[in-house]
Amino acid sequence: MELEGRNAIVTGGSVGIGAAIAAALAKEGANVAINYRKHDAEAKEVVKRIEAAGRKGIAIQADVTSFGDAQAMVDKAIEAFGRLDILVNNAGITRDSTVWKMTETMWDEVIATNLKGYFNYIHAAATPFKDQRYGRIVNITSINGLRGKFGQSNYSASKGGIIALTKAVARELGKFDVTVNAVAPGLVYTEMMTDLPREWVERALAETATGRLATPEDVANVVAFLASERARCITGEVVNVSGGQYM
């Protein structure tokens, strides 16, 4: 197993891509702590999946926008597992609108969750990673952070910011054997897709080169690779997992 003996945090790990990432890391041998905000029952199910893989799993209710909550979760994970090796920032929200209709609240909520939330956890994990001279950080961004998206100026800005954050932190932490990479999915088959207009899904599918959209497991497999020793010389990179939806 690629991650035997490693310990991970996955933010937004109770549903969708985050749940798939937590399961993939556990399958490769890692103990996994997930955070959730409101999906309590779903979080408990993810912990069961982690434990079914023979690993330790814990779920912690924490608000990623809270600097203090992030530090507390990192501390709890280290207390539970003995150390922390892998951080996967995944939690995110959308508040879509054209820029002329977007409210200040819609902008602030997305930036606080999708960008500041990532900073909060990176900040909390950076010191233990530096001290032990080892760590793997994987940030989930989006192809819309690379290309922009109509009606998503807040989301695109947050996801573009994650890419810049990834590259800057990769430079800062590289000498401590900490790699920092980003994974940029396109539209992914998750529970959230049921709320999207059918024409949006069909348009995204038409953009792909492969004729199919990614699944949460497709994204999770790339994350597990980047968290492993096989990716030890990869840092500051953005891996596009979109079936060619953007290239």
Between helix 16-27 and helix 216-226 the angle, nearest 10°, is 50
Averaged pLDDT, 189-213? 85
Nearest to 186 by CA among 124, 144, 222, 226: 144
Phi, psi of 239 (to 5 degrees): -100, 120
Residue 191's pLDDT band (boundaries 50, 70, 90)? confident
Nearest to 119 by CA among 60, 62, 65: 65
Residue 35's pLDDT band (boundaries 50, 70, 90)? very high
Q: Which of 36, 118, 121, 155 is catalytic?
A: 155
C-alpha dihedral, 23 to 220 to 111 to 78, nearest 10°: 40
**Per-residue model confidence as pLDDT tens digits over 152-174:** 999 999 999 999 999 999 999 99
* Distance separating alpha carbons of residues 237 and 182, to the nearest angstrom: 6
Whether residue 155 lies in the annotated active site: yes
Averaged pLDDT, 229-236? 98
| pLDDT computed for residue 38 by the predictor | 87
Q: What is the tally of helices (H) and strands (E) in the chain?
A: 9, 7
Buried b or exposed e, range 81-116, using 16+ CB within 10 angstroms: beebbbbbbbbbbbbeeeeeebeeebbebbbbbbbb
- Both tokens of 90, joined, read 């995944």
| pLDDT computed for residue 90 by the predictor | 98
Is the pLDDT confidence value at 25 over 80? yes
Instruction: Indicate the range of 20-24, 36-40, 237-241 predicted with least confidence.
Output: 36-40
Q: Which residues contact 113 (CB under 8 A, 6 or more apart)?
A: 64, 65, 91, 92, 93, 158
Residues in the chain, how many? Answer: 247
**Per-residue model confidence as pLDDT tens digits over 49-58:** 999 999 999 9
Question: Please, what are the domains in the chain?
Answer: 7-241 (3.40.50.720)
Q: Name residue 214's amino acid.
A: A
**Per-residue model confidence as pLDDT tens digits over 87-136:** 999 999 999 999 999 999 999 999 999 999 999 999 999 999 999 999 99
Token look-up 């990623």 returns 64
Nearest-5° Cα angle at 126, 140 to 223: 30
| pLDDT computed for residue 197 by the predictor | 81
